[in-house]
A and B are shown apart, each in its own frame.
Chain A
Amino acid sequence: MSAIKVENISKSFGKVKALDGISFEVERGELFGLIGPDGAGKTTLFRLLTTLLNPDEGQAEVDGFDIVKGYQAIRERVGYMPGRFSLYQDLTVEENLDFFAALFGVKVEDSYDIIAPIYRQIEPFKRRRAGKLSGGMKQKLALSCALIHRPSVLFLDEPTTGVDAVSRSEFWDMLADLKHKGITILVSTPYMDEASRCDRVALCNEGRILGIDTPTDIVAGFDSPLYAVQADNMYQLLISARRARGVVECYPFGEAHHLIVDAEFDIGQFKAELADVQGLCIKPAEPTIEDMFIKLMKQ
């Protein structure tokens, strides 16, 4: 039995279709990532699965319970960390943790083993008010609170947004730990580079899923040539390259621009077309998940 099973779910807010017939399954003990830009419908999907919203169409199960009929049961066995920091800023670290323990009817000591690797890092500041913590520490506290009742499924909505690079990396290490303890984790992120830390990812855009696979297979599925181009004037290059023959998409990627091309593309001709661009340099590039995402979006 899968931990999360979503079948053809749709949800609209007025005229805006936030989710448009989404289906996927998450295995038990899997770390599953939802990757997509803002407005892809990730938060709506989280709210549906945590029983905060009811779907317009389709159905879903979490831990074997229907999200509409069995919502009380689901609320007992999942942990949820919303996108916005949702703890009490005027309460201390310790008071927040105690409150969430009471909310789920457990004692902090009984769950200490599961939260310890995370909580121990903020324990020195346990008398500090949550509002005065740094972004990374807030994240750790929120995760501790979401874990306090030993949930079987953990929902993390953009947990690393607004957190520095080091804390982000640490956070993913913690998720890997939790996964080994048997907790199923559904996590969303707008950062494509974090996708590689997941077992499987779903690329979402505008309420639809563009593709689901392991990060390696997603990258492997990038079957056309990819180039990185550079020039003295990167903006001029971007404009000109987009007009060139055989170019499907050209977009900034770190220091260079990436070029997705089709069968009509020819390097020689490309160089000739962009003869007026100073310092043009083009070489093949390794595709990443972001490249795959943009390619899927173009199709």
Chain B
Amino acid sequence: MRGNFLSFVKKESLHILRDVRTMMIVLLIPVVLMILFGFAISTEVNNLNVAIVAPNRTEGVRQVVDRLANNPYFTVVGYDSSIDIDAALRSGKADAVVVFDEDFEHLITQRAEGIDTHPAIQFIFDASNTNIAQTGTAYLQNVVSADHLQQELLNLHLLYNPQMKSAYNFVPGIMGLIFILICAMMTSVSIVREKEMGTMEVLLVSPVRPIKIILAKMIPYFVISCINLATILLIARYLLDVPMSNGVWSIVIISVIYLLLSLALGLLISTIASSQVVALLISAMVMLLPMVMLSGMVFPIENLPTVLKPLPYIVPARWYTEANRKLMIMGLPLSAVMKEVAILIFMTFVLMGVSLKKFKDKLE
């Protein structure tokens, strides 16, 4: 019977290998997504155009301007004693304007002595894109106040991702997404295809329990997903410099659990869907959207309205993403994510159980 099972796996592999286009897409999706989110789509703010208005170019002013000009995030686009600030922002020439007080040096000294004065520097920011404005002002404030306006009250220390690289944030999320996409969607579509093409009818009228054929179907997709896992880890490590300071094996282990979960999910979808289109729709609407919205990949779970708060608990990607952050970014050992591992294993068993129970060996 074992030889039997292998020939089923061979048949599934042939289906995949013959469909070169789909196979290329499946293998390239992770690469494209990783590069897109790693480089192109990022919440980091780069190349801010800053105009500077300083009535007196004193030593203190010059030092601040030097720091701005030497900072890779900013480009100084003007250094005048007075400009039309409104026009500069409206024309898009500048994203932000830094205005120094006439009496800059004096005010700084007074402040240093603890005398309450009016502010010495004013930032005027184009906030039409709130994300850029928020992050940009924070950067500006840091750079400008680095020397002179040291406010010793607060000691800010960012751990694990001190440069706030958005790639660090996205990589675990993307992994959660890709595996669902490939394992769940591809397997469900390929099972439903058998129903649609009528081959399921022939398979059912045979001594083999159909579930055996279905399990054989999952193996090639599992292998492809493992290749994807390897690609993703390589890109993350060597292209996006994600630390993974505790080694990759813990990440591999939790990813394999998540792969099995995704396969079970695909099986469940295939028992519900009657056509490939329905299978695709279910995958996209019921899985991908909540996955993006509720997994904490893009929007923090803490920001959800109270009624929706329980939802992320049942989204598998949330647990995977959370565990992956701890493993990849914080560099914690596997023992630190035992809760997530347990939840994922539990979900896998539930999904497998339900879908095996739901799977019919008759047509209706």
Q: Which residues of A contact B (CB under 8 A)?
A: 47, 50-54, 72, 75-76, 78, 80, 82, 84-91, 95, 98-100, 102-105, 145
Contact = CB atoms under 8 A, between A and B. Distances in A.
B58 interface: no
A102 B1 CA distance: 9
B206 interface: yes
Interface in B311-364: 362-364
Contact of A52 (B7, B19, B362): B362
B240 to A, nearest CB: 37
B207 A75 contact: yes
Contact of B15 (A51, A53, A90, A105): A90
Nearest to B1: A105
Contacts of A105: 1, 4, 207
B197 A51 contact: no
Interface of B: 1, 3-4, 7-8, 11, 14-15, 18-19, 197-199, 201-208, 362-364
Contacts of B7: 98-99, 102
A82 B202 CA distance: 7
A104 B363 CA distance: 20
Contact of A103 (B14, B198, B206, B363): B206
A52 B207 contact: no
B4 A88 contact: no
Contacts of A53: 362-364
Contacts of A90: 14-15, 18-19
B362 A103 contact: no
B363 A102 contact: no
Given A82-B201, A103-B208, 19 more contacts: A50-B205, A52-B363, A76-B207, A82-B198, A82-B202, A86-B197, A86-B198, A86-B199, A86-B201, A88-B11, A90-B18, A91-B15, A91-B18, A99-B8, A100-B202, A102-B4, A103-B206, A104-B208, A105-B207
Contacts of A51: 204-205, 362
Contacts of B205: 50-52, 75, 78, 80
A153 to B, nearest CB: 11
A54 B204 contact: no
Interface centre among B7, B19, B202 (most CB of A within 10 A): B202
Given A53-B363, A90-B19, A91-B14, A104 B207 contact: yes
21 contacts: A47-B363, A50-B205, A51-B204, A51-B362, A53-B364, A75-B207, A85-B198, A87-B199, A88-B11, A88-B199, A90-B14, A90-B18, A91-B11, A95-B11, A98-B7, A102-B3, A102-B4, A102-B7, A102-B8, A103-B203, A145-B202
A95 B363 contact: no
Given A54-B362, A90-B15, A80 B201 contact: yes
Nearest to B19: A90
Contacts of B197: 86, 88-89
Nearest to A146: B202
A62 to B, nearest CB: 11
Nearest to A91: B14
B201 to A, nearest CB: 5
Given A82-B198, A90-B18, A105-B4, A75 B204 contact: yes
Contacts of A91: 11, 14-15, 18
B328 to A, nearest CB: 38
B15 A52 contact: no
Nearest to B7: A102
Nearest to B5: A102
A104 B4 CA distance: 9
Nearest to A74: B205
Contacts of A47: 201, 363
7 tightest CB-CB pairs across the interface, nearest first? A102-B7, A86-B198, A80-B205, A76-B207, A84-B198, A52-B363, A90-B18
Contacts of B204: 51-52, 75
Contacts of A80: 201-202, 205
Contacts of A85: 198
Nearest to B4: A102
A103 B1 CA distance: 10
A86 B203 CA distance: 10
Contacts of B362: 51-54
